[in-house]
Amino acid sequence: MSLSLDIANLANAYAAGRLTPSSVLDEVYRRIALDGERPIWISLVPKEEALAKAASAPRGPLYGIPFAVKDNIDVLGMPTTCACPDFAYAADASAHVVTLLEAAGAVLIGKTNLDQFATGLNGTRSPYGVPASTFDPDYVSGGSSSGSAVAVAKGLVSFALGTDTAGSGRVPAAFNNIVGMKPTKGIVSTEGVVPACRTQDVVSIFALTVADAACVMDIVARFHDGDPFARRAPMPFAPGALPSRLRVGVPGGPLEFFGNTSYRSLYRSAVERIESLGAEIVPIDFAPFAEAARLLYAGPWVAERLAAIRYYALHHAKTMHATVRDIILGARSLTAVEAFDGIYELMRLCRVAEAEWTKMDVLLLPTAPTTYKIADMLDHPLELNSNLGLYTNFVNLMDLSALAVPAGIGADGLPFGVTLVSRAFADGLLATLGDRLHRTLPETKLGATETSLAATPPVAPRPRATVEIAVVGAHLTGQPLNSQLTERGARLLRACRTAPGYRLYALANTTPPKPGLVFDGSGAGCIEVEVWEMAESELGSFVALIPPPLGIGTLRLDDGSCVKGFICESYAVADAADITAHGGWRAWLGTRV
């Protein structure tokens, strides 16, 4: 079955009735059985359990889309191992990002292999086996998010979550001909993720296309008040229009490729292709970025790796991978003075780099300068791994956004990738540019599959002038007035609930039947709502359709955030039935059948 798992293909097939989530999961588990569980997977969701979840999945924007998560990300009821069996524990809750994806209808398939404790860029540091490049089994897959990248590249899932501290969401993408989106720190919550360096970690997204990665990013880029490292983005994530004058920085001096002439040639080609899109190529001084990259495995950030798992590392060191153990325990000799010295040096380099950012909008770099055979990596684990991070290590330290995209196949048959880097919160700009750059390649396949990039839809820039609207009754998905949203191009963002203090009533004599949501401060609240995003230009015509006693006001949600949404004037509920105890309009409708 030559089924492409790209999100657009599955969504279209579901809408047309050509496929069902159960038929897609049958194919996913067939492929996994043929490929074998190890070394890509650490644990799989049993097929019957996945099918049951698919059958009850919300019909959100990721309805029926199979995905995987790196095994340092918690999933309720599944072990989290960080590729260290003795460390494993059963998660009592799913990570915030997993909860958001499942609420959007995505179906989890399993948890993937990684460099132990997310320490490495090569993928060889795991007792569960060594995932290899999908293009040559002798070569590394890249790490630390090795299994996630390989699962996507092989067409076993539509997308996968990784984590990225030093390039773990980008290097494996490059080595497997897929897309790796590394968001701005804090805009995707890391709550429920075992940290490597908590101040630098992000959850990353692997996908076959930039459009797919952007679709997932739409769902997960949500501020989480319970995460102390979460940040509010100035605007919601959306692929944005490119500036009329796009300045792309490239290092002015010679770049290091460690003798890989194929990668050198493919990078030059990428510069030429982005210039063909109308970009102005600007030479910049790469020195402050390179110096910042060298800081990652010095001072504060090695100590932070030890802080993340200090009790385990100090008391169970013999159970750890030898290379990982030596790196993490090496921090024991660091002093607080050295840690502060490292922070001060990073701040100095960030200030120096500001002069370079005045010259450019985006920095274009090789994702990795070369690749290595697994045998060579095992013989020289520190030196060769360090080489792989030459163009990635600085990005999180300097609070930058990044997107890795495929950039061709070398004469040796191995993929090459480039990374677009920009300032914090430029994720939407990078999505638009990255997709266009990817599509300048000659006929190209997605990952190691047979699906052509040309057969998939491109990223569509969206206007940022939008408003979020919470709906509670007849405008919910599947209800009679939902078309008033979809006809205006509104997009379902998430399903959630109101804060306490609200009551829900079944209004009398309304066509179609509608509920009324009232805040009186004493109601149980926790009423089901859907939050939709609508262009501000469409809001007026939508509000004009709302009859009294309903209107648009401000609702407080159970996560503490506030959005515009449907409210009801209190006079209208005097004789109405209080249906708050049912938890939502759809639940109450179900009792009337």
Show which residues are catalytic: 70, 144, 168
User: Under a CB-based contact definition with an 8 Å cutoff, are residues 181 and 432 in contact?
Assistant: no
Using DSSP, state whether 484 is helix, strand or coil: helix
Residue whose C-alpha is closest to residue 221's, from 179, 194, 181: 181
Q: CB under 8 Å to 85, separation ≥6 — which residues? A: 127, 319
- Please, which residues bridge with residue 405 across strands? 418
Distances (CA, A) of 347 to 182, 340, 342, 344: 22, 11, 9, 5
Identity of the residue numbered 82 = C
| Measured distance CA(434)–CA(437) in Å, rounded | 5
Copy the structure tokens of residue 419: 């990374």
Instruction: Find out whether 299 and 330 touch, Cβ atoms under 8 Å.
Output: no
Who's near 373: CB < 8 A, 6+ residues apart? 138, 139, 140
Nearest residue to 586 (alpha-carbon basis) of 486, 495, 465, 463: 495
Three-class SS state of 236: coil
Let me know how long the chain is: 593
Q: Which two three-digit tokens encode residue 275?
A: 């210039």
Helix (H, G, I), strand (E, B) or coil at 248: strand
What is the DSSP pairing of strand 66-70 with strand 528-535? unpaired
Quick one: which of 500, 491, 517 has its CA closest to 576? Answer: 517
- Quickly list DSSP for 398-439: TTEEEEEEEEEE-TTS-EEEEEEEEETT-HHHHHHHHHHHHT
- Nearest 5°: CA angle at 217, between 168 and 398? 50
Q: Which residue has the tokens 């890795």?
A: 404
Structure tokens at 452: 């052509």
Q: Phi then psi for 342, rounded to 5 degrees?
A: -65, -40
Ramachandran sector of residue 306 (left: φ over 0; alpha: ψ -120 to 50; beta: rest): alpha
* Dist CA 70 CA 83 (whole Å): 10
Q: Is 567 strand, coil or helix?
A: strand
